[in-house]
Structure 1
Amino acid sequence: MTLLVVAAVLAAAVTHAVWNALAHTIEDQKVAFTLIGGGGAVIGGVIACFAPLPAGGAWPALIVSALVHVGYQALLMRSFTLGDFGQMYPIARGTAPLAVTVLATVFVGERLSGWQLTGVVFASAGLVGVALWGIRGSGARPHWPALLAAVATGLSIAAYTVIDGVGVRASGTALGYIAWLMILEGLAIPAYALYVHRGDLLAQLRPHAARGLLGALLSVSAYGLVLWAQTRAPLAPVAALRESSIIVGAAIGALFFKERFGAPRIAAAGLMVVGIGLMLRAS
């Protein structure tokens, strides 16, 4: 993992946390993800006009990934509706890196060096620490439907991460792959929202259009950076670095949603930094 790859994935982590926070500020999550998904599809369509078409071998992965992404968005909407951002976001993201490590080993045949694996474990420990602190620090009994939705979201993240890692490497073009992925996945939730809200949809979208479309731009940018990184580094370290967005998400929760940050999250951030250092040592 070169410094350029690390910088790209960390930039994606910050961008990802910001768009998730923007989505969380819109009370009606169908409206939020209609704007983000629909905006992403439009952006993908523009990019597709200029980017190369993905190679034929990438299309099965593209189609399956789009379906998994739709499920992921539905689960994420559900978890945001049921729980606090500062709890649901860390849990959803924190379950992914180790799952990606297992899936990449079983299905892609990737083998991490000792330093890389140690770095992934340290980073994952930090991420899980943030998630567990979010549950304990809430002062309330765990809300199991919210927790289950968040964990299921994390497993769907691991699934599409591995699928897209395989697909983007077969595509020959990270830019073309992200464009068509946005097109394929971006229309499902807007179509569902149109069916539910019918003639009232535009009126409900209008007050949140600026935030939603900014979220769409950030979403496409964040995942485009991750896909590019997956063509140049093993999937598990990229996934672990990407989920440093949890630390950013916790900071956003503290600054803007008045949620506590606290010493446990500082310790978790320290573990994340140690993990990043170990993965860089393996370069």
Structure 2
Amino acid sequence: MDPLVFALVLGAAAMHAGWNAVVKVGLDGFSAVMLISMAAGVLSLLGLPFVPFPEPASWPFLALSGCLHMGYNVALIGAYRAGDFGQIYPIARGAAPLMVAVLSALLLDEPPGLVAALGIALLVGGVWLMSIRGGAVGRSGGLPERRALLAALMTSCFIAAYTLSDGLGGRAAGSAHAYALWLFALDGVLALLVTVVLRGRAIFKGMARALPAGIGGGALSLGAYWTVIWAMSVAPLGQVAALRESSVLFALLISVVFLGEKASRWRLGAAALIACGAGVIRLA
């Protein structure tokens, strides 16, 4: 993988872990996720005058991805409501890169080479080791409750689906930057509508108290996925999707340093495996 693409995707992984951590502090999960989505949507509007309008071929992908991102948000909220950030986050991210690698090979004629396949396998294996045996000290160290596990796995399905949709959409748009900004603008509108319909306008009073955190989370979310959409337009989808999941390394650091969750030896071993996988992908 090109060194610049590799470095930028790692940066996106760090930003992604950051905005997911914001979901676990302050507001309830629904309010936090929707506030971050709306903030990212508003921030994306600032960039729209500087990018071309996406090509019509990308519009179906924009519409599909808007729905998939909302489904992802709902599933993510359900998972975080029932589980610990340091364990739920890797489960939610773990299956998606493998799905993307297989589907991109079958549908897009982008089979990974031997080195890339090895890197993907190491990284995904580390993610799953962290989720299954890497629970916080003081917990069982196994899988979380069934409800949280199902929500996390459902989130993985949404991640894989919108990754493929956005990878194709960014390529068809003529400008990956234009596609990313329009996607976040659409997500912001949908988040606003879903919030009003499900919770009513009174919820915005509570959101206002967490506005600085929401804007920060929105900026991280926008920067992270904007970078990933661009990377998928210049590199194989499977490799980008897998490398993006190195975000669990940053999630581990956040969970220990800022959320007070202790790291078991299983978490640390899984983190080393993920780092090895990322290094192998760099060599592909």
TM-score by length of 2: 0.94
Deviations 1:125-163 (A, max 9, x none): 111111112458522873101110001101110111111
Give 5+ residue unaligned stretches, structure 1: none
Out of 215, 219, 222, the position equivalent to 1:220 is 222
Offset of residue 195 of structure 1 = 3.1
2:47 match: 47
Partner of 1:90: 90
Does the aligned pair in 1 maintain the 2:87–2:136 contact within 8 Å? no
Report percent identity of matched pairs: 37
Amino acid at match of 1:139: S
* Residue equivalent to 1:266: 268
- Amino acid corresponding to residue 31 of structure 2 in structure 1: V
1:189 deviates by: 2.7
Aligned counterparts, 1:196-211, within 5 A? 196-211=198-213
> 2:60 matched to 1:60?
yes
Match of 2:161 in 1: 159
Paired amino acid for 1:104: S
1:10 counterpart = 2:21: no
One-letter identity of the residue aligned with 2:230: W
- 2:27–2:210 Cα contact (<8 Å) kept: no
Q: Which amino acid in structure 2 is aligned with residue 191 of structure 1?
A: L
* Residue in structure 2 matched with residue 35 of structure 1 by the alignment: 35
Q: Secondary structure at the match of 1:231?
A: helix
Task: Identify if the C-alpha distance between structure 1 residues 69 and 125 changes in structure 2 by more than 3 Å, giving closer, same or farther.
Answer: same
2:184 maps to amino acid: M
The answer as to whether partners of 2:16 and 2:220 remain within 8 angstroms in 1 is yes
Judging changes above 3 Å, is the alpha-carbon distance between structure 1 residues 208 and 101 closer, same or farther for their aligned structure 2 residues? Answer: same
Question: CA offsets, 1:26-56, max 9 Å, x none?
Answer: 3412211221111111122221121111111
Question: What CA distance in whole angstroms lies between the structure 2 residues aligned with 1:59 and 1:107?
Answer: 20
Partners of 1:272 and 1:81 in 2: CA distance: 26
Residue-by-residue CA offset, 1:79-98 (whole Å, 9 max, x unaligned) = 11111111111100112111
After the TM superposition, which of the residue ranges 264-273 and 211-220 deviates more from structure 2? Answer: 264-273
Q: Please give the alpha-carbon distance, in whole angstroms, between the structure 1 residues aligned to 2:120 and 2:8.
A: 17
1:33, 1:190 within 8 Å by CA — same for their partners in 2? no
Q: Specify the SS of the correspondent of 1:24.
A: coil
Over 3 Å counting, the alpha-carbon distance change for 1:199 and 1:123 in structure 2 is closer
Cα deviation digits, residues 97-139 of structure 1 (max 9, x gap): 1111111112212111110111110111111111112458522
Q: 1:252 aligns with which of 235, 254, 257?
A: 254
Structure 1 residue identity aligned to 2:171: R
Residues 266 and 55 from structure 1, CA distance in 2 versus in 1: closer, same or farther, beyond 3 angstroms? same
**Residue 78 (structure 1) aligns with:** 78
- Structure 2 unaligned regions, length at least 5: none
Q: Is the 8 A contact 1:87 1:134 kept in 2?
A: yes
Offset, 1:262: 2.3
- Paired residues, number: 282
- State how far apart, in whole Å, the 2-side matches of 1:189 and 1:228 are: 23
TM-score, reference length from structure 1: 0.95
- Residues of 1 paired with 2:31 and 2:275: CA distance? 36
RMSD: 1.6
Show the counterpart of 1:182: 184
The residue number in structure 1 matching 2:231 is 229
Among 145, 149, 162, the residue aligned to 1:143:
145
